Amino acid sequence: MFYVRTNDGVKIAVYDLNPTAAETVFLVHGWPLSHRIFEYQETPLICKGYRVVEIDLRGFGSSDKPACGYTYDRMADDIYAVVRALNLQNFTLAGYSMGGAIVLRYMARHRGYGVKKLALLSAAAPRLTQAPGFCHGVPASAVDQWAAGASTDRPALIRQFGGMLFTLPHSQAITDWLGDVSLSASGIATIQTACALRDEDGRADLARVCVPTGVFHGRQDRVVPFDLALVTQQGIRNAVLYPFDQSGHGIFYDELDRFNSCFLQFLAC
Question: How does pLDDT run across 117-132, given as a tens digit for each residue?
Answer: 999 999 999 999 999 9
Question: pTM here?
Answer: 0.98
> Among 77, 78, 205, 221, which one carries the catalytic annotation?
221
For the beta carbon of residue 163, count every other beta carbon within 10 angstroms: 10
Q: On the CB side of 70, how many CA atoms lie within 13 Å of its CA?
A: 28
Q: What is the number of structural domains in the chain?
A: 1
Whether 199 is a known active-site residue: answer: no
Mean pLDDT of 122-151: 96
> Among 29, 136, 217, 249, which one carries the catalytic annotation?
249
Percentage, residues of the chain above pLDDT 70: 100
**Residue 242: its pLDDT value, please?**
98
SS3 230: helix
Question: Whole domain around residue 253: which residue ranges?
Answer: 2-268
**Residue 140: its pLDDT value, please?**
97
SS3 204: helix
From CA 93, how far away is CA 80, in angstroms rounded? 11
Indicate the DSSP class of residue 138.
Answer: B
**Residue 88: its pLDDT value, please?**
98
Closest Cα to residue 209, out of 110, 74, 112? 112
Q: How confident is the model at residue 156 (pLDDT cuts 50, 70, 90)?
A: very high
Q: How confident is the model at residue 230 (pLDDT cuts 50, 70, 90)?
A: very high
Cβ within 8 Å of residue 47, ≥6 positions away: none
**Residue 47: its pLDDT value, please?**
98
From CA 150, how far away is CA 228, in angstroms rounded? 25
Do 222 and 248 touch, CB atoms closer than 8 A? Answer: yes
Mean pLDDT of 24-49: 98
Mean pLDDT of 41-50: 98
Whether 221 is a known active-site residue: answer: yes
Question: How does pLDDT run across 172-219, given as a tens digit for each residue?
Answer: 999 999 999 999 999 999 999 999 999 999 999 999 999 999 999 999
Kindly report the CATH number assigned to the domain that includes residue 226: 3.40.50.1820
From CA 195, how far away is CA 121, in angstroms rounded? 21
**Residue 63: its pLDDT value, please?**
98
Whether 254 is a known active-site residue: answer: no
> Among 62, 97, 122, 247, which one carries the catalytic annotation?
97
**Residue 171: its pLDDT value, please?**
94
